[in-house]
Amino acid sequence: MLAMVYVKDRASAEEVVQDTWLAVVEGLSRFEGRSSLKTWMYRILTYQARRRATRDRRTINWSTMVDSEAEGPTIEPSRFNAEGHWSRPPTDWGKNPEDRLLRSDVLNAIRDAIETLPPVQRSVVLLRDVEGWSSGDVCDTLELSMGNQRVLLHRGRNKLRDLLEAHLTQQ
């Protein structure tokens, strides 16, 4: 999953993962323990994926390289009134929203929504909210500043909320 942030296709990502395992096995004796083993391994993966992406980029037509991270406002301005308050309250999900969220159609909608996020946002959301990583580990692994990680997480969560709200109001 993380390798897909850097490389163009699944086959390249799988090769990156294989290269990472080889590097981990070869470098394990040099692991100094200054970070967790997980963070160290993910840093190797990040390095391998970036190296592979650089190599792959030499063969990609530059006109196909589109900035998918171009962003507008995080929350639609129409959701606020002139005073800056919500113009309409969030949708009521019923008495027991947990039951609705655990239904398979909703879980599938959440998975599909996560896949629509730009790659770096998807990685941050998956590592923080699905895998339960700390902010520091995510920043170290993805080589992000703390502020950038917070912005990516915030934007990703807002997109997911909007997509989930749209799905739940259709039912």
Q: Domain segments of the chain: what residues?
A: 2-64, 79-170
Q: Are 113 and 122 in contact (CB under 8 A)?
A: no
For residues 122 and 82, the model is more confident at 122
SS3 call for 86: strand
Right CATH for 79-170 from 1.10.287.130, 3.40.50.720, 1.10.10.10, 3.40.50.2300: 1.10.10.10
What pLDDT was estimated at residue 25?
92
pLDDT at 125 over 90: yes
In angstroms, the first-to-last Cα distance of the chain is: 31
What pLDDT was estimated at residue 171?
60
What pLDDT was estimated at residue 67?
40
Q: Are 47 and 7 in contact (CB under 8 A)?
A: no
In terms of Cα–Cα distance, which of 105, 143, 107 is closest to 124?
143
pLDDT at 63 over 50: no
For residues 62 and 79, the model is more confident at 79
- Whole-structure pTM value: 0.52
**The two three-digit tokens of residue 159, written as one number:** 């997109």
What pLDDT was estimated at residue 11?
84
What is the average per-residue pLDDT within 31-55?
Answer: 88
Kindly report, residue by residue over 64-79, the tens digit of the pLDDT: 433 434 456 666 777 7
What contacts 101, CB < 8 A, 6 or more positions away?
93, 107, 110
Secondary element (H or E) of residue 166: helix 146-170
pLDDT at 86 over 90: no
SS3 call for 65: coil
